[in-house]
Structure 1
Amino acid sequence: MTVRLEQAENQATLTVRDNGLGLPQGFDPELGATLGLQLVWSLADQLHGVAEASNDGGAVFTVRFPLG
């Protein structure tokens, strides 16, 4: 698992990536019933940002939010 925080201009990007099997086809993270997924989307909302989930050699969760 890797966790990365990057800053560009007035935006930050937090990425959490694993090297597992990835997310199932048709997976909708906003409907995720797990506490972890609920926390990710809640964090994005609180930061006035957006959250995304994708597959790239495993599951990738990204939260982008404005700074300042």
Structure 2
Amino acid sequence: MVQNAIEHAFDPAVEAGSVTIRAERSARWLDVVVHDDGRGLPEGFSLETSDSLGLQIVRTLVSAELDGTLGMRQAPSSGTDVVLRVPIGRRARLVL
């Protein structure tokens, strides 16, 4: 998610830009938000229909291995927010 933000969020001709990572925990969930202040999502973009292999791999990993969700949205000010939500207190099936 971070690499994707760095690679795709910013115009190569512009030298400035930032990527912020924030984690929030509730009793049942861990939310990780990766925010960039770049150019935002292309018009008509849909995570569900994206043909990006990297996004498909991440979605499958989050869903199948972590029982979580992955979402992307235009950020309120500018750029994009990618939100990863996984349940707390459950052992993931992922083996590293």
1:17 to 31, 35, 44: 35
Name the Cα RMSD after superposition: 1.4
> Which sections of structure 2, spanning at least 5 residues, go unmatched?
1-18, 90-96
Bigger share in strand: 1
* C-alpha separation in 2, matches of 1:60 and 1:39: 18
Paired residue total: 68
What's the TM-score, normalizing by structure 2?
Answer: 0.63
Q: Which has the larger radius of gyration?
A: 2
Runs of 4+ in structure 1 deviating by more than 6 angstroms, as ranges, are none
* C-alpha separation in 2, matches of 1:36 and 1:16: 16
* C-alpha separation in 1, matches of 2:52 and 2:82: 14
* C-alpha separation in 2, matches of 1:43 and 1:4: 20
Aligned-pair CA distance for 1:60:
1.0
What's the TM-score, normalizing by structure 1?
Answer: 0.84
After TM superposition, the structure 1 = structure 2 runs for residues 1-68 of structure 1, keeping only pairs within 5 Å, are 1-45=19-63, 46-56=65-75, 57-68=78-89
The percentage of aligned residue pairs carrying the same residue is 35
CA contact (8 A) 1:30 1:37 kept: no
CA contact (8 A) 1:30 1:41 kept: no
Q: Deviations over 1:27-57 (max 9, x none)?
A: 0112323343123312321210111110111
